[in-house]
Structure 1
Amino acid sequence: MKQSEIIGLSTAELQVKLAELRKAYQDLTSAHAISPIANPLQIRGARRAVARVATELTKRELQ
């Protein structure tokens, strides 16, 4: 997700999206541990997407 898309979402939507992204990241890492996935860069992208959404949620809580 791009940062502009993340900013446009409400806090509730961000929390749902964060749960989805964390689940996807967990699935990718477990699949890669069992047998190497075709594109391991997906793991990095998923991790960074989780970080972007979590950062935006934290930013909103502090305001």
Structure 2
Amino acid sequence: MKNSEIKALTESEINERILAEQENLTKLRFAHAISPIENPNRIRQSRKLITRLKTFLTQKQMAKQD
């Protein structure tokens, strides 16, 4: 997901995406623990996407306060 796509989302949509990505990350970690997944970099990418989403959410909330 590109930064421009994230900027276009509302706060509630970002929250929904964070929850979905966290669920996806949990599934990836579980699958990797059972048997190594084909591309373990997907775990890192998912973690970084969650962090970017949280960052944009914080920025939107701070902008709303001002």
TM-score range, shorter chain: over 0.9
Matched residue, 2:3: 3
Shift of residue 60 of structure 1?
Answer: 1.3
Percent of matched pairs sharing the same residue: 38
Matched residue, 1:23: 23
Shift of residue 29 of structure 1?
Answer: 0.8
Q: Which has the larger radius of gyration?
A: 2
Q: TM-score, normalised by structure 2?
A: 0.89
| Matched length | 63
Unmatched 5+ stretches in structure 2 = none
Unmatched 5+ stretches in structure 1 = none
Q: TM-score, normalised by structure 1?
A: 0.93
Matched residue, 1:43: 43
